[in-house]
Amino acid sequence: MKVFKFIFIYLVFFAARNSFALEPNEILVITNSDIAASVRIGQYYCAKRAVPVRNTLPLPLGTTLNDTIARSDYETKLAEPIRKKLRSSGFIGKIRVLITTYGVPIKVGKRGQLEGQEDKLKQLRKQLEQIRSIMKQIEQSGSVYMAGQKEQLKRRKAYLQSAIDNIVGKETDASVDSELSMVLFDDYELYRWRPNKLKYKLPYWDFKSLMVCRLDGPGEDIVMGLVDKAILAEQIGLKGIAYIDSGYGQDKAKDSLYAKYDELLSKTASILRQRTTMKVIEEQTQKVFEAGQCPITALYCGWYSLKQYVDAFDFVEGAVGYHIASWEAIDLRDPNSSQWCPAMLKDGITATLGPVAEPYLRSFPEPDAFFSELLDGRCLVEAYYRTKPFNSWRFVLIGDPLYRPFGKKMLPAGIARQ
């Protein structure tokens, strides 16, 4: 009876999971009506993926291909029209994914200083200077008996600096896409990040959070190719080699976040060996894969080589991967950029992700979890939002949100291929 009960529960869960699979009519495509290429990309996607034409929102965002939009313009020209559309008849509660396209700004600027906080700001700065002075005196004294107090002072110093940064508006910039994930929320604090309420949730219990994906890159042809390659890979199956590059954190403290991500990358390689028939090749030193070293690349994840892409990969149609490093999507549309995101897109990758400013390591999706979600048969945007830690922060996901690299060969969650 216990076995039958387990099977029944699993089948109910499996049916529920698939009943919540993302559908084309749950997507809203946002284009820049002032840039013809943006409109063409939106129309192309709708035609290829059977997204209803009514599920498009062309907005006049300017004839210049701007990467950044001011915070005030974001609110009036992007956020408010999108809210209006989502709350209009026929759309209330029916859109789960927004697609931003080439021509829609990528980054939103920081807010200004909080109003009415001048006196508090003065007090915080005065307290911070006092803490710094005390810490300097302790350091000069060389007293070992003050070590515990010094640690307390360091924590207090960090708290005060964070409070000051919040008031003045430091680290309140974000990617447009990550901010749009919270477009249906009421006022929320614009300082650093907000927790992603969709992480590991299915069915989608948080109905305010939206999933956002971007069709963008260094040129219109490359962007349209993201759709074509995703569809082709779904038809013929994603085939090739998985390349995992760990080792960057091997000289760091064992309890550091760097060491943890090295372990996660190694774990990713093990999962891919267990759950796919792909050949998996690991680079386990502090070096990265060298130029020309990675033929028929289907999957990739690794680090580091900051803002210096190494042309190691021959990406197959449908290839998915991302590079764990800061600032790798700042110049997403620059065909001559050496950053990893634009360079990989130019080199033929089908889906990737990256930060538009310093993101901090803990804000990357953990690679073992992200690729496991894809192996479970989830589409690109679901895998991303089930594993990304934060919204209102600095990441973009680039590719066809509906793309399911392993949809036809889906295994039940947690069941390994022997």
- DSSP states along 6-71: HHHHHHHHHHHHHHT---GGGEEEEEETT-HHHHHHHHHHHHHHT--GGGEEEE---SS--SEE-H
CA 225 – CA 80 distance, rounded (Å): 31
Which residues, in sequence order, are CB contacts of 238 under 8 Å at separation 6+?
A: 298, 316, 318, 319, 320, 405, 406
Same domain, yes or no, for 156 and 243? no
Query: What's the pLDDT at 187?
Result: 86
Query: What's the pLDDT at 9?
Result: 39
Residue 107 covered by a domain: no
Joined together, the tokens standing for residue 127 give 């307290």
CA 370 – CA 386 distance, rounded (Å): 8
Determine contact, residues 294/300, Cβ cutoff 8 Å.
yes
Residue 402 covered by a domain: no
Q: How many domains does the structure of the chain reveal? A: 2
Same domain, yes or no, for 261 and 158? no
Same domain, yes or no, for 164 and 229? no
Which residues, in sequence order, are CB contacts of 411 under 8 Å at separation 6+?
A: 275, 375, 376, 377, 417
Residue 248 covered by a domain: yes
> Tell me: the pLDDT tens digits for 125-134?
999 999 999 8
Same domain, yes or no, for 161 and 303? no
> Tell me: the pLDDT tens digits for 180-220?
999 999 889 999 999 999 997 655 567 799 999 999 999 99
CA 369 – CA 360 distance, rounded (Å): 18
Query: What's the pLDDT at 19?
Result: 46
Q: pLDDT means per 10 residues in the chain (418 residues)? A: 43 44 95 98 98 97 96 97 96 96 97 94 95 86 69 91 94 97 93 92 72 98 98 96 93 88 96 97 95 97 96 98 97 98 98 97 97 97 97 98 81 36
Residue 142 covered by a domain: yes
Same domain, yes or no, for 149 and 235? no
Same domain, yes or no, for 228 and 366? yes
Same domain, yes or no, for 235 and 299? yes
Question: 303-320 burial, b for 16+ CB within 10 Å, e for fewer?
Answer: bbbeeebbebbbbbbbbb
- Phi and psi, residue 101, nearest 5°: -120, 165
- Phi and psi, residue 299, nearest 5°: -135, 145
* Bridge-based pairing state of the strands 294-302 and 194-195: unpaired
Same domain, yes or no, for 146 and 274? no
Determine contact, residues 303/340, Cβ cutoff 8 Å.
no
Same domain, yes or no, for 144 and 286? no
Residue 234 covered by a domain: yes
Same domain, yes or no, for 228 and 371? yes
Query: What's the pLDDT at 150?
Result: 79
Looking at every residue in the chain, the average pLDDT score rounds to 90
Same domain, yes or no, for 156 and 280? no
Residue 321 covered by a domain: yes
> Tell me: the pLDDT tens digits for 337-387?
999 999 999 999 999 999 999 999 999 999 999 999 999 999 999 999 999
Query: What's the pLDDT at 411?
Result: 41
Give the bridge partners for 391, in sequence order. 194
Residue 413 covered by a domain: no
Which residues, in sequence order, are CB contacts of 66 under 8 Å at separation 6+?
A: 105
Query: What's the pLDDT at 8?
Result: 41
Same domain, yes or no, for 136 and 244? no
- Cis amide bond preceding 203, omega within 30: yes
Residue 106 covered by a domain: no
Domain interval for residue 156: 118-168
